[in-house]
Every structure is written in structure tokens, then in C-alpha cells.
């Protein structure tokens, strides 16, 4: 496994690989790997000839007062895990490499950028869309892997790929959870033991929502109210949003009539956690 820090060198490697007819896969990350990240890499390794992953804590997607400075960084551990899996290249640029002085260009996905997480984190999806576009242009993969844990992000990336004619296959991968249901996240490291117990209410509320839909409930209001009461009955929880919405445009729905996204974001202590599920109604 090679660790590459410069854009120039990274480009060179994938340019050669393309000439050799290799299929290039790409997994962008902010590092501090858990099984969620590793599941994307494993899938990539199965499917492509050269798997590139990136580790870059992207400053432009963090708002003022958010956790950019204290976001967990575990590069040595990450290297070890990636190399044991069989990743070929880690692209590990520094901030100046990606955003040199006089950097001016940003990518904005209109309309869906200010819904759900975008409403409480203005500028977040602009930062994500910009860095992913840049990374795609540097690595030029055939396939890129993203987790459904960040469902709205996955949809934003599918939109960029389609709207900007990138010709990259975007592969969405299921949410990996701890055995007690907590969706894996680098931010789980912020939780104290007691907060972690409260955090289980997120997946519990989604499971309850799924059960309600399964037993015939179609009212978004009643589902949200039930979810809210499960989460609010735990200490340390502060709900940012619970949404029952269209899974492409993120417009709220009153009644569940077709494929619907149920998504939430909750602050627990210092951690802002997100989780979601899709419900299908025939």
C-alpha cells in the first residue's frame, strides 16, 4: 500500500492505471476508521483493480463552532487497517494541497442543499460537494463508494455526478451498526458511557417507526411524535430534526404512500449524530 500526499503524484498513478486498462475504485473518507468505512473498502477491493481511498478532514464542510479542530484523527491506526484489508493507495493530502491560497471555486447543489442536515449546517453540502468533485477530478475513478448512513450526502453526490456528467458509478452501501444498534460513526468517540446509552434511542426510534409503518401506520405526524417521545425520554438528547420525507428531494410528506426516507439528527453531549432508514410501501 502506498501513501500519496501530492495531487500530482496521485494523478500520475491513476492516469497510468487507466492506460493499463485497470478499473479504479475510490472511497473518500475523513479517517478514524470503523467497520462502516471498512465495509466500503471491502466492497471496492472485491470489485476493482486499483482501490484508492482518501483521508482528508475537509475544513470547508465544517461551520464555525463545529468540531473541525477536535475531529478524531488516527492516521497510524487507519494506515494499518487499510493496508491489512488490501487497499492499494491512501491519498492523504494536507489542507494547502487541496485549498491553496487564492482558492475561489465551490460546487453547490441547489434545492436539496438546504434541507435536513443542510438546514442546520449551512454550507455543509457546499463543502462536501466541492471536496468530492475535486477528489473525483484528482483520482478519476470509475466507481466510488459511499455509505447510506449519510443518506442526504449520498443523494447530493449522485446529483453532482449526474448533473456534471462525471461518468462515475456511485455505489451506495448499507449502514453498519454496533451490535446494540448504534450506527457506527467517528463521532461516537465523543460520547461518554452514559451518553452512549441515550444514543441508542436513535436506532430504537427508527425501529419503532419501521414497525409502525409495517403495521399500517401512514401518518408522518404520528410516527414523528412517537420517535420524538422515545428520544426525548433519554437524558442528554437534543433533537435537531426528525423528518419523514421524499428520499430524492427531501420534501416532507404527510402520509407515507411510497418509498420514504425517515431521517434524524440529534445532539447528544458534544456529538451530533445522524441515522436513517428507508420504508417501502406498496
CB-based burial, 235-251: b 16+ in 10 Å, e otherwise: ebbebbbbbbbbbeebe
Q: Which residue, 48 or 184, is less far from ligand AMP as judged by CB?
A: 184
Single out the residue of 175, 202, 224, 279 in contact with ligand AMP (rule: CB under 6 A): 175
Residues classed as catalytic: 37
Which cell is 87 given? 487497499
Q: Specify the residue, 36 or 141, whose C-beta has the smaller distance to ligand AMP.
A: 36
Smallest distance from the beta carbon of 175 to ligand AMP, in angstroms? 5
What number of other Cβ atoms are within 10 A of residue 280's Cβ?
Answer: 9
Dist CA 203 CA 210 (whole Å): 10
Sheet strand arrangement including 260-268: 237-245, 260-268, 271-279
Site string for ligand AMP, 184-213 (x = CB under 6 A): xxx---------------------------
- Cell 441547489 maps to which residue? 110
Which among 172, 127, 166, 124 has a CA at the least distance from the CA of 151?
Answer: 172
Question: In whole angstroms, what is the distance from residue 59 CA to residue 56 CA?
Answer: 9
Q: x/- string (CB under 6 A) for ligand AMP, residues 12-51?
A: -----------------xx-----xx-xx-----------
Which one of 106-114, 182-190, 202-210, 269-277 is the stretch in contact with ligand AMP (CB under 6 A)?
Answer: 182-190
Q: Which residue is nearest to ligand AMP (CB)?
A: 147
Residues that bind ligand AMP (CB under 6 A): 29-30, 36-37, 39-40, 146-147, 149-150, 173, 175-176, 183-186
Amino acid at each position: 500500500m502506498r501513501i500519496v500526499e501530492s495531487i500530482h503524484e496521485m494523478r500520475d498513478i491513476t492516469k497510468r492505471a487507466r492506460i493499463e486498462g485497470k478499473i479504479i475504485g475510490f472511497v473518500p473518507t475523513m479517517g478514524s476508521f470503523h467497520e462502516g468505512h471498512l465495509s466500503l473498502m471491502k466492497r471496492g477491493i472485491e470489485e476493482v483493480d486499483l482501490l484508492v481511498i482518501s483521508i482528508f478532514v475537509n475544513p470547508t464542510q465544517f461551520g464555525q463552532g463545529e468540531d473541525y479542530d477536535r475531529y478524531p484523527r488516527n492516521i497510524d491506526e487507519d494506515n494499518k487497517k487499510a493496508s491489512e484489508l488490501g487497499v492499494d493507495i491512501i491519498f492523504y493530502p494536507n489542507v494547502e494541497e487541496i485549498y491553496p491560497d487564492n482558492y475561489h471555486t465551490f460546487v453547490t447543489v441547489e434545492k436539496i442543499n438546504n434541507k435536513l442536515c443542510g438546514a442546520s449546517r449551512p454550507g455543509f453540502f457546499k463543502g462536501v460537494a466541492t471536496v468530492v468533485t475535486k477528489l473525483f477530478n484528482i483520482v478519476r475513478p470509475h466507481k466510488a463508494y459511499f455509505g447510506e448512513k449519510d443518506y442526504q450526502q449520498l443523494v447530493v453526490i449522485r446529483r453532482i455526478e449526474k448533473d456534471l456528467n462525471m461518468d462515475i458509478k456511485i455505489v451506495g452501501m448499507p449502514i453498519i451498526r454496533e451490535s446494540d444498534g448504534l450506527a457506527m460513526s467517528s463521532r461516537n468517540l465523543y460520547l461518554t458511557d452514559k451518553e452512549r446509552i441515550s444514543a441508542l434511542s436513535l436506532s430504537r426510534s427508527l425501529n419503532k417507526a419501521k414497525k409502525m409503518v409495517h403495521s399500517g401506520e401512514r401518518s408522518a405526524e404520528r410516527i414523528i411524535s412517537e420517535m420524538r417521545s422515545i428520544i426525548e425520554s433519554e437524558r442528554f438528547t437534543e433533537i435537531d430534526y426528525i423528518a419523514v420525507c421524499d428520499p430524492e428531494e427531501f420534501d416532507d410528506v404527510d402520509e407515507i404512500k411510497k418509498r420514504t426516507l425517515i431521517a434524524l439528527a440529534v445532539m447528544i453531549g458534544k456529538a451530533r449524530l445522524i441515522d436513517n432508514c428507508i420504508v417501502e410501501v406498496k
